[in-house]
Amino acid sequence: MKLTWLGHSCFLLESGGFRALLDPYKSVQGLADIAMEADAVYCSHGHFDHAYTDQVTLTDGKENPFTVAEISTFHDDKGGALRGRNIVRRFTAGDMSVVHLGDLGHQLSEEQLEAVRPCDVLLLPVGGTYTVDCQGAKQLADAIKPRVIVPMHYRNGNLGFDVLSTLDDFLEQYPAELVRRYPGNTLAVEKDMPEQIAVLRYGA
């Protein structure tokens, strides 16, 4: 399985030649709107920075290798009263699972945690304001217990919304030796991956 970070909360998840696009966006500060071809597209909720499908061309004919579990959650910690619902998805192909939390705004119940486990790679929002904050993100990761954490939905210089906190605010909660900074934006998802926080580089 191959994972490519396209910025913000958008990823391309590939297995067996099948390309699943997760949370395509538009109008995110410093980032080019998503425009590409994919075999399937999944959006965690309907906001413009997570559900911009106008420039996504869907192909036909390929069998989807992913088993997709959907867990209904909320975009805030007020039962959706502020920002509505959010869908957490667990993508499994072979014996590997990747969980995309979308714009999750609260901690998960024990029942919800059971639905996302086991998790090899966790795509985790860490920027706060619209999601859990960096401390809440670590609390989620500690509960889910993935082998690999890939941070998303944060500010990096002039990239990302001004109101989001930075990646460093999240990383400072972990020992430096756990953080692995990749030179590019792709990650090979393999069973023998060491425990790590995988920092991918936008646009590489």
pLDDT tens, position by position, 118-143: 999 999 999 988 899 999 999 999 99
Domain edges within the chain: 2-199
DSSP assignment, residue 108?
Answer: P
Compute the average pLDDT of residues 165-179.
Answer: 95
Compute the average pLDDT of residues 1-8.
Answer: 96
What is residue 156's three-state secondary structure? Answer: strand
Decide which of 151 and 76 is more confident: 151
Alpha-carbon span 67 to 52, nearest angstrom: 23
Backbone angles phi, psi at 158, to 5 degrees: -95, 10
pLDDT at site 158: 85
Percent of the chain with pLDDT strictly greater than 90: 81
Class of domain 2-199: alpha beta
Band the pLDDT of 157: cuts 50, 70, 90. Answer: confident
Alpha-carbon span 48 to 151, nearest angstrom: 20
Decide which of 191 and 37 is more confident: 37
pLDDT at site 75: 86
What is the chain's Cα-based Rg?
16
> pLDDT digit string (tens) for 91-116?
999 999 999 999 999 999 999 999 99
